[in-house]
Amino acid sequence: RKRLAISQYELGKKVNLDQTLISRIERGARNLKADEIVLFAKALEVDISELLDVSA
């Protein structure tokens, strides 16, 4: 999100989620649902794998 220089509010509009939920997701207080991962990847112009922690 920061790479694209968009606010939490702007990202929320793109993925149809409230800014407070975006904040909780970024802080790790809420996990993304499977369908949301796809929306976030498209909105952030990244591959889905970049949103998933596959290093574990």
What is the full per-residue pLDDT of the chain (56 aa) written as tens digits? 889 999 999 999 999 999 999 999 999 999 999 999 999 999 999 999 988 876 65
Q: Are 37 and 51 in contact (CB under 8 A)?
A: yes
What is the value of pTM for the model shown? Answer: 0.83
Could you tell me if residue 53 is inside a domain?
Answer: no
The answer to whether position 2 is within a domain reads no
Per cent of the chain over pLDDT 70 is 95
Residue 3 forms part of a structural domain: no
Model confidence pLDDT, tens digit, residues 22-31: 999 999 999 9
How many domains are contained in the chain?
A: 1
DSSP 19-54: HHHHHHHHHTSSPPPHHHHHHHHHHHT--HHHHS--
**Domain of residue 26, residue span:** 8-47
